[in-house]
Structure 1
Amino acid sequence: MDLTAKLTILERMLDIYDRFVGEFELACEKYCAHCCTANVTMTTLEGCRIFADLETSGNLKHLETITRLSHPDRFRPRISINRMADICARGEDPPEEHLNPEASPCPVLVDNACPLYGVRPFGCRCMVSARNCGQTGFADMDPFILTVNDVFLQHLEHIDAHGYTGNFADVMQFLANSENRRLYTSGRLGPPPESLVSNQPVFVLMIPPDHRARIQPLLKEIRGIQI
């Protein structure tokens, strides 16, 4: 599958997700940036979508900002979500991850607003709350939304199975290199650099038993995407 087809599937998946989450009453609004940390992860496919938008809009300057302002202790996953699902399904323990909750803010945030909002990673898009996080200190998220978020993250990795996952800043710095973009676009990426991890297809979905029936319509929509 070529990059254009993958990007089309990504856009349609995001449309499905937006319709789903739009059915909930949420406190999220513009300039509410409590969840805009430096710990967001994404796939190389999402990074290509962001890069294309920056290139089209003439805002590639943000790449320099990302490099310059990236938090030194930002979250860097040791495994992807599909790899974690496989490990857990076998009854094994996934590797411990290091996450510094004080790694804030996101390097592109300006006056509590995101200049990349329209093409933000799914990891940003799915961080929603029923109450203002600044008042509660945490995101108040419906357990079913958490399950749906995991399923979408797993499918996003699946369509980018030959790519990488990593911190937003690390993926963007990787794609800022034209040779890396050429290799990714041609499907010729080798082992990931130290800052990123390899993606893999979905083999098992992380769906709790009490959510399996409720999530079926969403799964049908995702699997029914045609290009």
Structure 2
Amino acid sequence: MDIETIIEQAEKKQKEIYDKKEKMERIALMGGTFDPIHHGHLVIAEQIRCEYHLDKVVFIPAGIPPHKSNLQVADAKHRYFMTLLATVTNPYFEVSKIEIEDDQVSYTIHTIKKLKKIYPENTELYFITGADAICDLDTWKDVKELLHLCNFIAATRPGLESPLIDEKIEELQSKYEAKIRKMDVPALAISSTDIRRRRKAGQSIKYLVPEPVEYYIYKNGLYR
């Protein structure tokens, strides 16, 4: 099966999930540059989905990432298609274009507000982020309002010092009455940065990303 057919099937799956949105009650949002998406992202999303009994996890590729505006990022359409290819086999995973269709900087607060208008009023939203990002949460736009609009799940990764994360979570809970939960996830020690470095150096990226994503990267000459 070629990549174009897989993408077509993935987009069809998106429509089927969207048509059932009125039945959703517990949804996790996983934002990120996904440049490229890799197995570590998928492991985290699936582990959290199962742990919190979520109806689905929505992957949201950033349009113009606010914290990476000075870095070169692959075109949004490539990052969207790679995310589609990586998630198509999981019926509980969805990919949203909500940020890449916007020509403004992708602030999480704006995305959450838009989704609040789309999903039913009783929908409980969770935002998945890396535990290390929690330490920078004070720098996010309108953080106080953001922390009242949705729950946060901080996923740990290998090598991260958890005491620092615990202290920051306690600080945010005290300062903003935030609902933040930390979850230890046996994620693989894989990073998008390392994948791009390997690709540029002509090294193998096999098994670091799903096979269709690997094929897409090579076919479109990404990260050379």
Place the TM-score, normalised by the shorter chain, in its bin: under 0.3
TM-score normalised per structure 1: 0.27
Q: Which structure ranks higher in relative contact order (CA pairs < 8 Å, sequence separation ≥ 6)?
A: 1
